[in-house]
Structure 1
Amino acid sequence: MRFSTFTKAAASALVAMTVSLGAHAETLRLAIGTQDTTINCATGGLLIRELKLLDKYLPRDGKYKDVQYDIQWKNFTSGAPLTNEMVADKLDIGTMADFPGSANGAAFQKAGKKSLFITVLSGSTQGSGNGVVVPKDSSATSLAELRGKTISVPFASAAHGMLLRALKGQGIDPEKDVNIITQAPEVAGPALQAGKIDAHADFVPFAELFPYRGFARKIYDGVQSSTPTFHGSLVNAEFARKYPEVVVAFLRAAIEADRLIASDPEKYSELIEKVTGIEAPVSYLFHGPLGLQTRDFTWKPEYRQALKTSIETLHLMRRIDVTPDPATFVDDQYIRAAFKQAGLNYDARLKNYDKLPLKANDALTGKPISDTRRLAGLWVAGEPKVRHYAAIGNAFQDLRKLEQAGKTVRAVYVHDLIHGIKLLAPQAWFARDAQGEVSAFLQKDAAVAYASTNKGQLLDFAALKAGTGGR
């Protein structure tokens, strides 16, 4: 009886002590804003969340020993509303492109606060990713043919900056020679289909997604303007000052997400489709080997310059009235710490400009692929992996056999011979030279010029598919 009484008393004391300790435990909110449909942000949001990677790296010792984490995720379709919630202290970390990121820094500064651009996630030092599309039945094949036309673009976006520079590069005055209106991609898609606009400029992935869905054609890629562009993650500087280990943990999770998607881009492109509705072949166009953009966490000089250019451009456009200092806006100490903890060499990666490499054999010949200038790929429905081919003719030969056998091909990929960017083959132009070798091009005039120089023949996707050209 005495033992029972003692046990009850001890238990009560233990419960009281536990409650007391719990009352003093800190609850640390980590609120993260994502842009799920902007698939270049996947390693800084969607994949971390869906694969529950953050829990693996959050600190749980030292000053974090008794911390209870309150992880909050919120998805946005663009950077502006995400920035509004960051400035209002409703979010601690957010992911967006260089232009909206610059606006984020300006908004914090205007509010007497500060945000930090802590990492790049994915981008192109050459400018690929932003693009211009026209309705599928449009006669336009280049920007020069848009003079006097109506072009929509999300204002103050990376695509907006690309469009302005691209038009000026063609000798087109953006204020006098074309009518530029603001439209978000969800509005521009129906407008293209209804013929209410002549062209639309947009960021990842819409310049590829709209053509993939069959109602638009891509006529211009940002790589033609040679203007670097990127997506990355920002943090409230005050949060980073108080909880630097948590910021590094977030970046460790991002690095893990990058490793996973690099190991199996088809699998995780399917996951992105499941969450966002953006078809896996479009995500693979970016995230697969030799993709349209390169996933890269390092602050290459080109990305620092892109940020500086976006700040200057937004100021000239009167979209911001204060200008963050790029030298202090970018803070690479957290990503460097994350690299070190992960056993990676940040400085070596900083110097490396290579895309995710392709290690594959030609699906038709079985021989290793070493020359990727005329690389092609087929993603066959029901197959977990993309088939790769060293020659475009090989891919189309297989395509015909597959379709004759009643199989469905989800996507056909080729690479532009001039810029090396991956393209959706139905949107490309082709030239077959005198030796019968087929090359792919983003623009018709480039294919015409190549065919003329090499005594060859201009071809489109339908001609190749019908077996008219290529070996």
Structure 2
Amino acid sequence: MKAPLHIDRRRLLVGAAAVLGGSGLARAGLPVLKAGDQKGGLRALLEAANELQGLDYEIQWTEFPAAAPLAEALNAEAVDLGPIGDAPLIFAQAAGARITAFAVNRSDPYGTAVLVRPDSPLKTAADLKGRTIATNRGSIGHHVALKALASAGLKPDAGTFRFLPPAEAKLALTQGAVDAWATWEPYTAMAETAGHARVLVNGRGLSSGLSFLAATDAALAKKHVQLLDFGRRVVRAQRWSLQHVPEFSATLARIIGIPPEAARLQFERRQQRWIAIDAQVVADQQRTADFFLEAGLLKQALVVKNTFDTSFAVV
């Protein structure tokens, strides 16, 4: 199966510029850091913790609905950096994207889950056999769905995948067009708290819970100082958020436009921590890459140790 990274550089650059927000035009003489983001991601965290003050560079933000289009933007150098899960990072790098992970966090992967409608007859992972599962191709949702099938002794083709972005996947599930939806936070918490879905299989024991800050090779070479400062601000903001759960949850809900109860649920159960890129991180990421190779989604083996830059001391 072809790796899920298809680049139309001109279209992507125009699309990214259309949704660009935040700082706008750079102040005279200041460098610009083009930051990609996902829903419920870095911008809300940094704003809530007041970590966007005192910058000696500009940040231009572009929000993406999932990691796959963010990976495309990184590959096209439409953004300099962005948060990306373990699975989409692997697919992007396997497809030749010139991006490198320079910081890592680990969280409780419960919310990376396979969801079904509340009245669904499905009870276990084994019940996914012969069912239709909506997810983003190459996403952490795709990964957890495949792992769920494997945990029940089923092959990757035991279920039928429909590759849809989160909003369309949710609609397909609620309308009964698919049997299950494999997704991640905050979409899991939003669906649960709204009564639209329940968790059939959660990611504990299936997913590493790893997520990364990845940057283009060009940004790593030219904007090392800004990337390091940005990473350290993210780490400080994360520590602040864990000590100010009510305040952060309220700010997160406001910034990304989700119900406060969903914002708090997904935040509290993730318990995200930024950690060093150590041997365990590399081993876990290699295990995920090997799983995709065995499942037939990668054409050739990926040596993940070559996809990290450990020179950034953000923690």
Q: Which interval holds the TM-score relative to the shorter structure?
A: 0.7 to 0.9
CA distance in 1, matches of 2:144, 2:63: 25
Aligned pair count?
288
Letter in 1 for 2:123: T
Alignment of 1:295-334 (within 5 A): 295-299=273-277, 301-315=279-293, 325-334=303-312
Correspondence for 1:235 among 202, 209, 215: 215
Contact 1:98/1:306 (<8 A) preserved: no
Q: Secondary structure at the match of 2:31?
A: strand
CA distance in 2, matches of 1:120, 1:257: 14
CA distance in 2, matches of 1:317, 1:27: 46
Alignment of 1:381-392 (within 5 A): none
Correspondence for 1:77 among 65, 85, 91: 65
Could you state the TM-score of these two structures normalised by the residue count of structure 1? 0.56
- Per the TM alignment, residue 311 of structure 1 is displaced from its structure 2 partner at its CA by 3.1
Q: Secondary structure at the match of 2:189?
A: helix
Letter in 1 for 2:144: M
1:219 matched to 2:200? The reply is yes
Match of 2:10 in 1: none
Contact 2:49/2:240 (<8 A) preserved: no
- Per the TM alignment, residue 170 of structure 1 is displaced from its structure 2 partner at its CA by 0.7
1:45 matched to 2:33? The reply is no
Alignment of 1:390-405 (within 5 A): none
- Relative to structure 1, the CA distance from residue 232 to residue 279 in structure 2 (aligned partners, 3 Å threshold; closer, same or farther) is farther
RMSD: 2.5
Correspondence for 2:187 among 186, 203, 206: 206
Letter in 1 for 2:274: D
1:162 matched to 2:144? The reply is yes
Q: Secondary structure at the match of 2:195?
A: coil
Alignment of 1:322-471 (within 5 A): 325-334=303-312, 336=313, 338-339=314-315
Match of 1:264 in 2: 244
Could you state the TM-score of these two structures normalised by the residue count of structure 2? 0.81
Correspondence for 1:140 among 115, 122, 142: 122
Match of 2:3 in 1: none
CA distance in 1, matches of 2:310, 2:141: 25
CA distance in 2, matches of 1:209, 1:266: 17
- Per the TM alignment, residue 282 of structure 1 is displaced from its structure 2 partner at its CA by 2.5
Match of 1:188 in 2: 169
Q: Secondary structure at the match of 2:122?
A: coil
Q: Secondary structure at the match of 2:74?
A: helix
Match of 1:98 in 2: 86
CA distance in 1, matches of 2:205, 2:77: 39
- Per the TM alignment, residue 318 of structure 1 is displaced from its structure 2 partner at its CA by 6.0
1:119 matched to 2:106? The reply is no
Q: Secondary structure at the match of 1:296?
A: strand
Letter in 1 for 2:44: L
Correspondence for 2:131 among 121, 129, 149: 149
Contact 2:128/2:149 (<8 A) preserved: no
- Relative to structure 1, the CA distance from residue 122 to residue 285 in structure 2 (aligned partners, 3 Å threshold; closer, same or farther) is farther
CA distance in 2, matches of 1:305, 1:293: 22
1:31 matched to 2:34? The reply is yes
- Relative to structure 1, the CA distance from residue 306 to residue 138 in structure 2 (aligned partners, 3 Å threshold; closer, same or farther) is same
Identity percentage of aligned residues? 23
**Larger RCO (alpha carbons 8 Å, 6+ apart):** 2
Structure label with greater radius of gyration: 1
Instruction: After superposition, give the CA deviation of every residue in 1:32-68 in whole Å (9 maximum; x if it has no partner).
Output: 0000x2x3xx3x333225655244354xxxxxxxxxx
Contact 2:189/2:266 (<8 A) preserved: no
| Runs of 5+ unmatched residues, structure 1 | 1-24, 59-68, 340-471
- Per the TM alignment, residue 249 of structure 1 is displaced from its structure 2 partner at its CA by 0.6
Q: Secondary structure at the match of 1:128?
A: helix
- Per the TM alignment, residue 322 of structure 1 is displaced from its structure 2 partner at its CA by 6.6
Contact 1:161/1:313 (<8 A) preserved: no
- Relative to structure 1, the CA distance from residue 320 to residue 27 in structure 2 (aligned partners, 3 Å threshold; closer, same or farther) is farther
- Per the TM alignment, residue 237 of structure 1 is displaced from its structure 2 partner at its CA by 2.5
- Relative to structure 1, the CA distance from residue 200 to residue 158 in structure 2 (aligned partners, 3 Å threshold; closer, same or farther) is same
- Relative to structure 1, the CA distance from residue 133 to residue 93 in structure 2 (aligned partners, 3 Å threshold; closer, same or farther) is same
1:280 matched to 2:278? The reply is no
